[in-house]
């Protein structure tokens, strides 16, 4: 994503997940956080997934984001092989439209935590924001960017409220 050494790894269970997960990379980029994106399947390439997780910290990664649909074991497999924080993004699709992915991602056994965000696009954005929040614990520049981001969200809500109130006054 940039010339800087990536600090966030974004792993997708399949290349078809990119349409949703691109929002993760875009959000990280908005905050100036470099990431590496790769396809790595918990089921089809389990050795590669384990190897990636085992070596992620020594490669300089600080957070791993794992997005997968269907059985969605990618985040759990990665978390089992690293001490880095892992954020799971369950993706919609399949026979259960993402419910299976959500449950597989969130139902981790004690000792193997995976922070789980919402299904789909919202989860893809929130995973990036959670990674930024984790990194901001030791980075005052990122902390300032998060404060600005939250202020922009609040401003957008207030502007929406003002539009609704104006519309209601017209109808009164």
pLDDT tens-digit map of 109-121: 999 999 999 999 9
**pLDDT above 60 (res 130):** yes
pLDDT of residue 1: 45
Residues 32-70 have pLDDT tens digits of 999 999 999 999 999 999 999 999 999 999 999 999 998
In this structure, whether the domain defined by 8-138 belongs to CATH 3.20.20.140 is answered with no
DSSP codes, 63-97: EEEEEE-TT--HHHHHHHT-SS-EEEEE---TTTT
Residue 49: burial class (beta carbons within 10 Å; 0-12, 13-18, 19+): buried
- Enter the pTM of the model: 0.93
Q: How far apart are CA 38 and CA 119, in angstroms?
A: 20
Give the mean pLDDT of 64-81: 93
Helix (H), strand (E) at residue 12: strand 8-12
Confidence of residue 93 (pLDDT cuts 50, 70, 90): confident
Residue 163 reports pLDDT greater than 60: yes
Structure letter (DSSP) for residue 165: H
pLDDT at 45: 95
């Amino acid at each position: 994503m940039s010339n800087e050494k990536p600090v966030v790894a974004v792993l997708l269970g399949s290349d078809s997940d990119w349409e949703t997960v691109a929002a993760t990379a875009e959000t990280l980029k908005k905050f100036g956080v470099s990431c590496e994106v790769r396809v790595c399947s918990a089921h089809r390439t389990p050795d590669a997934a384990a190897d990636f997780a085992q070596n992620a910290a020594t490669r300089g990664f600080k957070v791993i984001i794992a997005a997968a649909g269907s059985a969605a074991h990618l985040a759990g497999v990665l978390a089992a092989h690293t001490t880095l924080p892992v954020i799971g993004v369950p993706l919609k699709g399949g026979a259960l439209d993402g419910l299976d992915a959500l449950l597989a991602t969130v139902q981790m056994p004690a000792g193997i935590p995976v922070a789980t965000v919402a299904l789909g696009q919202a989860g893809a954005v929130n995973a990036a924001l959670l990674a930024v929040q984790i990194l901001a614990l030791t980075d005052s520049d990122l902390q300032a960017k998060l404060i600005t981001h939250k202020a922009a969200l609040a401003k957008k809500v207030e502007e929406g409220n003002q539009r609704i109130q104006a519309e209601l006054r017209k109808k009164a």
